[in-house]
Amino acid sequence: MKNKPRVLLLSASSGAGHLRAAQALEKALGARGDCIVEHIDAMKYASKLFQSLYHKTYISLANRAPDLLGVLYNRTDQPWNHPRPRLAMDRLNVHPMIRMLKRVQPDLCIATHFLPGEILAWLIGKKKLRARNAIVITDYDVHALWLCRTVDRYYVALPESAEYLAAIGVPREKLCITGIPVDPLFAKAVERNDARKHLQLDLRYPMVLAAAGGEGVGPVEQLVRGLLDFRRRWQIVAVAGKSEKMRKRLEELSREAGSLPGGAPRLQPVGFTMEMDQYMAAADLLVGKAGGLTTSEALARALPMVLIEPIPGQEERNADHLLEAGAAIRCNNLPVAAWKVAALLDDPVRLKQMREAARRMARPNAAADIAQDALALVN
């Protein structure tokens, strides 16, 4: 009897999206029963200093100096220009992961972050690893950091992404347009009223979902204050992600905001949650950042989006694609966000058009599609 192939999923806890993509793939692969799958966070195999700098630098720049983040993003977006010092530093700082990969010798590696993707490609190029190698790009555009020579498959979000890779020299047989993998729960239809009952939300009022992303990045508190000050009869669910500090501030705001007629709170704060599929099914509108995973989840629920001050770089590029498709509008000035939300909710025709645009762009089965194609590389 043939042994089941061993699959390693490699993400990095630098932004929650990379982890969520790998977790979605872990579910999809595990449900098949025809492989042995394990999810590795590359940062857990890195030096403590490297972990801290890698994670905190991004979060700090995103919150305090987003324009600088955009400059760095654009300056490093030079296809096939891989500075040797960066690779050498990455290798030095994740040496325990390199030793683990050499010891385990998996049959298939799938990376949802460019750092482990680069290390895998280097190991395979040096013939220190025999695994087939796939990279899942977790934004709608493809930054140069994702590019490696020894990759068997690139999984991309959009046809345009595939055309870009082909134009810069990636063989078309290595390209697969799947969408960004989201939790398989998003592929299961959920009625709005059923989701609201499950979450103890009022069925009568519009529900606005304000999301900071898994790391709590973005001006969620200011956004929520603006929505509350607008004095509309809408219920606001604000997701603080992993930011305990933000969750506590939102709870204070909720106590001050009071209740809607009927007793439901005007503001319901939520910390880190595993029920985003339910919250998105219950919502009329998502207001937040333009991260690849959050917006892909919203598309899977056909949920229109108001994108607040996208971070220059990958978020701006993600926003461009969503705006072009008609699934989102953009708000660059936080003080008018509540007005834009109200205007959109008051326009049911446009809201319906945006829902349909989101549904056309959605790829709720991306995780299962990637699992099937990737396993074919080793079977």
One domain for residues 234 and 369: no
Tens digits of per-residue pLDDT, 285-326? 999 999 999 999 999 999 999 999 898 999 999 999 999 999
Q: Do residue 175 and residue 225 come from a single domain? A: no
Task: Please list, in sequence order, all residues whose beta carbon lies within 8 angstroms of the beta carbon of residue 300, skipping any fewer than 6 positions away.
Answer: 182, 186, 187, 280, 362, 363, 364
In a domain, 38, yes or no: yes
One-letter-per-residue 3-state SS of 50-118: HHHHHHHHHHHHHHHCHHHHHHHHHHCCCCCCCCHHHHHHHHHHCHHHHHHHHHHCCCEEEECCHHHHH
The residues facing 285 across adjacent strands are 208
- For residue 1, being part of any structural domain is answered with no
Residue 216 forms part of a structural domain: yes
Q: What pLDDT, on a 0 to 100 scale, did the predictor assign at position 86? A: 72
- What's the pLDDT tens digit per position in 167-179? 999 999 999 999 9
- pLDDT tens readout for residues 315-335: 999 999 999 999 999 999 999
63-70, Cβ contacts within 8 angstroms, sequence gap of 24 or more: 63/217, 63/218, 66/309, 66/311, 66/312, 67/312, 69/311, 69/312, 69/313, 70/311, 70/312, 70/313, 70/316
- Reported as a single tens digit per residue, the pLDDT across 44-62 is 888 777 777 766 677 777 7
Instruction: Kindly state the tokens that stand for 75.
Output: 């300056």
Tell me: do 322 and 354 sit in the same domain.
yes
Query: In the structure, what pLDDT confidence band is assigned to residue 338 with cuts at 50, 70 and 90?
Result: very high
What is the pLDDT averaged over residues 191-211?
96
DSSP class of residue 259 equals B
What is the span of the domain harbouring residue 327? Answer: 185-361
Q: Starting at the edge strand that comes first in sequence, how are the strands of the sheet with 235-239 ordered?
A: 267-270, 235-239, 207-211, 285-288, 305-308, 328-331
Q: For position 147, which CATH number holds? A: 3.40.50.2000
pLDDT of residue 1: 45
pTM: 0.93
Specify if 298 maps to a domain. yes
- Decide if 322 is inside a domain: yes
Res. 216: pLDDT tops 60: no
Residues 85 and 207 occupy one common structural domain: no
Q: Are residues 52 and 164 in the same domain?
A: yes
Instruction: Kindly state whether residues 174 and 218 are assigned to the same domain.
Output: no
Under DSSP, is residue 304 helix (H, G, I), strand (E, B) or coil? coil
Q: Which of 39-48, 78-87, 258-267, 301-310 has the lowest mean pLDDT?
A: 78-87
User: Do residues 345 and 285 make contact, with C-beta atoms less than 8 angstroms apart?
Assistant: yes
Please report whether residue 302 resides in a domain. yes
Are residues 278 and 315 both part of a single domain?
yes
What's the whole-number mean pLDDT along residues 151-180? Answer: 98
Residue 136 inside a domain? The answer is yes
Domain count, the chain: 2
- Rg (alpha carbons) of the chain, rounded to whole number: 21
pLDDT of 5 over the 50 cut: yes
Instruction: Return the pLDDT at 151.
Output: 96
Same domain, 62 and 197: no
Check whether residue 156 and residue 198 sit in a common domain: no
Judgement on whether residues 141 and 24 belong to the same structural domain of the protein: yes
At residue 215, the pLDDT reads 53
**251 and 142 in one domain?**
no
Same domain, 234 and 161: no
